[in-house]
Chains A and B, each alone.
With several copies, the nearest count.
Chain A
């Protein structure tokens, strides 16, 4: 994708040189362009962190809210205007740490949004504390004896919660990431794409090399619609780390219960004052 992408926004990015976030941004731009979307049809929602700066670096609508609270905000925006394509891009600390409860319940609701987690297994913006996905033993200034809480495996969780689409990618593999994002967006309901993203400044364990040595793409023989296989696959972590679509699960989305696509979005609806009269009349 060398041709200028209309989602591309030329502005200085406050990311470190070499950071995996750059490729994720490009992958998002490419996926949106491939899907033939226009910037004004898309809303990028984020929390706070390095990853969460992404909405400032792309030509699209944005909502850059609070640390950990991207998912409820994205839910509200999607409900308010179901014609918007809503993507969430945020960090592992943001989504799985501070925002863990929303992660669970957003998946349960199956709201039709696509969540892209820049999983660098560390808190980048606050200078390198362990995140929920940090591997056991990682030493940081707030974990001086190394991490000893068992890492949070977002894929296992999402599969367990019956998410509509669960995938993992590696930021460096942009074409692959682009494809997964496209597929996640196309899948109705809640899509999670957890992207392994080297943080060159603080994560000196899970480096480009570390990931490159381990990731392998799932091939066609893998069937992502079988939940128990998906669960097993999602738990693979260590010498071999699968990337690709781990789980696909077709179910009714949240808004299917309320709205048909052709319906007026909430933001265009008006209250009929006559009907308010009928509420008052019920009180006599």
Chain B
């Protein structure tokens, strides 16, 4: 029987809800369940109200849902905040000693003395393991899996701590099994299969590594820091150097120095940090230095909402940097797509000697999905530097070729010297004030666009072949739009979706082919100005219907889209 079950674990920052979610999702994934987990947290270290949603299903799931069937409330506020969004029959798990829950029809209450059982296991800090035990019992999962997880994953803890956690988990499990064996959970069963669980940050990071990143520099900024931390943790193993810069300007210019010298380089940042890289990105354009810029969006302007999600930086990324130069912009829709896109991005930056943007957001980086596998051979690392010995002399760093791309060497290769320069310059990189040189240089750079247009896949189509209505997603709205299509198709609507990962150079012809003569085209995006919608209209000259927008810092879900869609759809 198909099932789609949503678990909310809620509490304040510092209570360890990530730990509970971590244990649970790992074991569920290993058992073959399909998951989508998303994070809703505040910009603070302790207190406030945070929650994780874990959607569990027998088939792939791509987006969060708002209503829950199981709430683990780690504090009183969590009960208050999430009570309304429980859909019965639902369960609330809470600490019977500290939290009050009003009983209601359709809501079953599982009251467990969590703190007490933790203390009985030797310390109050094992409370998350107790809660995990409770969940394993309720969800009819195997206690052995939980114990196994605690044994192997907590390896940096002392043997005593591991024992304490296992004890605590067992107590929670037993207590629940004994007192609440009558509770029915609708989470179904699936064929056992070991699935991986990956979030967007990990997938971009691993993609960059697979794409041969050699140098990464960054200044910490939510929600991009996870990518930087991941690569930093693996740097030694992969012969990468990772540097936390004094500011984003330094981060960007370090990457450009490394890139100019011949090392594949990347930076990670978010809104404000991206803004600070504006001039550096223009230098990448002028000096034709390969660099990958992973910008993970959060709501702005300025500081905005550091831990929330948005797609407000599209216009900036398309236009960032004074003066004119070509660039690539990708906005992967899922963690899976983000992995392959990141490998591509590393290749393309070098191939065309242009800045390449990976435009993600908090929703993408902080949400985890289950996957069968990732294939690092599907998109392969490929070098586009001139092979040593093949360098034609005199070597011209900015040779005005037909494709616009000049042969790329590293400093001192085959004993040549060359200069990488930020001015209007001659083919050998020296400052020029000549008008013909200026004109030719711009034309050379923009000639790259011809081949850049052909790179990477265009928009993806999903749904009914000749659907009347087309929803358009880009970046992380992919999941919610895709599920909306499934939902509407079930209702026999004539719908399909087009998803954009490659945003620039804009795939004009493919778009026109896919969009022309539709009755209604509706772009779904996380911003106020409908930035992508505006771009789509500009590039295709096709008119679209009223876009479906969300700009309150939260990701889309099916219900939200359907509601907005039906409202204007009369």
A residues at B contact (CB < 8 Å): 11-12, 14-17, 38-41, 43, 45, 48, 50, 53, 55-56, 59-69, 71-81, 83-84, 97-98, 100-102, 104-105, 123-127, 129-130, 132, 141-145, 201-202, 258, 264, 266-267, 269-273, 275-277, 279-280, 283-284
Pairwise interchain contact B279-A72, C-beta atoms closer than 8 A: no
For the residues of B in contact with A, the DSSP-based class is mixed
Pairwise interchain contact A64-B46, C-beta atoms closer than 8 A: no
Flag whether B222 is at the interface (Cβ < 8 A): yes
Given the known inter-chain contacts A75-B254, A123-B220, A267-B263, please indicate yes or no for A142 contacting B229, CB distance below 8 A. yes
Contacts of B238 in A (CB 8 A): 271-272, 275
Q: Could you tell me the distance in whole angstroms from the C-beta of A200 to the nearest C-beta in chain B?
A: 9
A224 and B279 alpha carbons, distance in the complex (Å)? 39
Pairwise interchain contact A104-B280, C-beta atoms closer than 8 A: no
Among B31-51, those with CB < 8 Å from A are 42-48
Contacts of B210 in A (CB 8 A): 271, 273, 276
A270 and B236 alpha carbons, distance in the complex (Å)? 13
Pairwise interchain contact B246-A271, C-beta atoms closer than 8 A: no
Pairwise interchain contact B241-A79, C-beta atoms closer than 8 A: yes
Among B392-425, those with CB < 8 Å from A are 410-412, 415-423
With contacts A64-B431, A127-B45 known, what are 10 further pairs, Cβ within 8 A?
A14-B48, A66-B253, A67-B303, A75-B254, A77-B260, A80-B261, A105-B245, A142-B232, A144-B232, A264-B239
Pairwise interchain contact A73-B376, C-beta atoms closer than 8 A: no
Minimal Cβ-Cβ distance residue in B for A64: B421
Flag whether B188 is at the interface (Cβ < 8 A): no
Other-chain contact of B219, A59, A78, A98, A272 (Cβ < 8 Å)? A98
Flag whether B134 is at the interface (Cβ < 8 A): no
Flag whether B225 is at the interface (Cβ < 8 A): yes
A-B contact pairs, 20 of them (CB 8 A): A14-B47, A16-B14, A17-B47, A40-B417, A61-B417, A62-B417, A64-B420, A65-B256, A66-B272, A72-B254, A77-B260, A77-B411, A80-B263, A81-B261, A81-B412, A105-B246, A142-B244, A266-B263, A267-B410, A271-B381
A262 and B263 alpha carbons, distance in the complex (Å)? 18
Flag whether B130 is at the interface (Cβ < 8 A): no
Q: Could you tell me the distance in whole angstroms from the C-beta of A190 to the nearest C-beta in chain B?
A: 14
- Binding-face segment, B190-198, B450-458, B515-523: B190-198
Given the known inter-chain contacts A14-B48, A66-B272, A126-B225, please indicate yes or no for A80 contacting B262, CB distance below 8 A. yes
Interface centre among A65, A102, A270 (most CB of B within 10 A): A65
Pairwise interchain contact A267-B254, C-beta atoms closer than 8 A: no
Q: Could you tell me the distance in whole angstroms from the C-beta of B200 to the nearest C-beta in chain A?
A: 13
Q: Could you tell me the distance in whole angstroms from the C-beta of B34 to the nearest C-beta in chain A?
A: 15
Contacts of B46 in A (CB 8 A): 15-17, 201
Q: Could you tell me the distance in whole angstroms from the C-beta of A31 to the nearest C-beta in chain B?
A: 17
Pairwise interchain contact B219-A81, C-beta atoms closer than 8 A: no
Pairwise interchain contact B257-A144, C-beta atoms closer than 8 A: no
Pairwise interchain contact A100-B259, C-beta atoms closer than 8 A: no
Flag whether B217 is at the interface (Cβ < 8 A): yes
A66 and B47 alpha carbons, distance in the complex (Å)? 24
Pairwise interchain contact B411-A102, C-beta atoms closer than 8 A: no
Contacts of B206 in A (CB 8 A): 276, 279-280
Flag whether B243 is at the interface (Cβ < 8 A): yes
A73 and B212 alpha carbons, distance in the complex (Å)? 20
Contacts of A283 in B (CB 8 A): 196-198, 202
Pairwise interchain contact B47-A62, C-beta atoms closer than 8 A: no
Pairwise interchain contact B259-A76, C-beta atoms closer than 8 A: yes
Contacts of B236 in A (CB 8 A): 144-145
Flag whether B429 is at the interface (Cβ < 8 A): yes
Pairwise interchain contact B209-A16, C-beta atoms closer than 8 A: no
Q: Could you tell me the distance in whole angstroms from the C-beta of A184 to the nearest C-beta in chain B?
A: 20
Interface centre among A39, A67, A74, A141 (most CB of B within 10 A): A67
Pairwise interchain contact A63-B260, C-beta atoms closer than 8 A: yes
A-B contact number at CB 8 A? 261
Given the known inter-chain contacts A98-B246, A125-B45, please indicate yes or no for A266 contacting B419, CB distance below 8 A. no
Among B357-406, those with CB < 8 Å from A are 373-374, 376-377, 381
Other-chain contact of B255, A76, A258, A275, A276 (Cβ < 8 Å)? A76
Pairwise interchain contact A62-B422, C-beta atoms closer than 8 A: no
Given the known inter-chain contacts A61-B417, A76-B217, A142-B232, please indicate yes or no for A101 contacting B246, CB distance below 8 A. yes
B residues at A contact (CB < 8 Å): 14, 29-30, 42-48, 194-198, 202, 206, 209-210, 212, 214-215, 217, 219-222, 225, 228-229, 232-234, 236-263, 265, 272, 279-280, 283, 287, 302-303, 306, 373-374, 376-377, 381, 410-412, 415-423, 429-431
Pairwise interchain contact A72-B263, C-beta atoms closer than 8 A: no
Minimal Cβ-Cβ distance residue in A for B225: A126
Contacts of B431 in A (CB 8 A): 14, 53, 56, 64
Contacts of B411 in A (CB 8 A): 40, 43, 61, 77, 81, 84
Pairwise interchain contact B215-A277, C-beta atoms closer than 8 A: no
Contacts of A142 in B (CB 8 A): 220, 225, 228-229, 232, 242, 244
Given the known inter-chain contacts A276-B209, A280-B206, A280-B376, please indicate yes or no for A62 contacting B418, CB distance below 8 A. yes
Minimal Cβ-Cβ distance residue in A for B415: A40
A130 and B376 alpha carbons, distance in the complex (Å)? 33
Contacts of B48 in A (CB 8 A): 14
Contacts of A65 in B (CB 8 A): 253, 256-257, 283, 287, 302, 420, 422
Contacts of A69 in B (CB 8 A): 249-250, 253, 279-280, 283
Given the known inter-chain contacts A66-B280, A76-B254, A123-B220, please indicate yes or no for A267 contacting B246, CB distance below 8 A. no
Minimal Cβ-Cβ distance residue in A for B421: A64
A74 and B248 alpha carbons, distance in the complex (Å)? 16
Interface centre among A74, A98, A277 (most CB of B within 10 A): A98
Contacts of B219 in A (CB 8 A): 97-98
Other-chain contact of A280, B195, B225, B287, B374 (Cβ < 8 Å)? B374
Q: Could you tell me the distance in whole angstroms from the C-beta of B130 to the nearest C-beta in chain A?
A: 22
Given the known inter-chain contacts A75-B254, A144-B232, A201-B45, please indicate yes or no for A66 contacting B279, CB distance below 8 A. yes
Contacts of A61 in B (CB 8 A): 411-412, 417-419
Pairwise interchain contact B214-A64, C-beta atoms closer than 8 A: no
Pairwise interchain contact A125-B253, C-beta atoms closer than 8 A: no
A97 and B13 alpha carbons, distance in the complex (Å)? 26
Given the known inter-chain contacts A40-B417, A59-B417, A105-B246, please indicate yes or no for A73 contacting B214, CB distance below 8 A. no
Q: Could you tell me the distance in whole angstroms from the C-beta of B479 to the nearest C-beta in chain A?
A: 19
Given the known inter-chain contacts A100-B246, A142-B244, please indicate yes or no for A275 contacting B381, CB distance below 8 A. no
A126 and B376 alpha carbons, distance in the complex (Å)? 31
Contacts of A126 in B (CB 8 A): 220-222, 225
Contacts of B248 in A (CB 8 A): 98
Q: Could you tell me the distance in whole angstroms from the C-beta of B198 to the nearest C-beta in chain A?
A: 5
Pairwise interchain contact B419-A64, C-beta atoms closer than 8 A: yes
Contacts of B241 in A (CB 8 A): 79, 258, 266
Pairwise interchain contact B246-A104, C-beta atoms closer than 8 A: yes
Minimal Cβ-Cβ distance residue in B for A40: B412
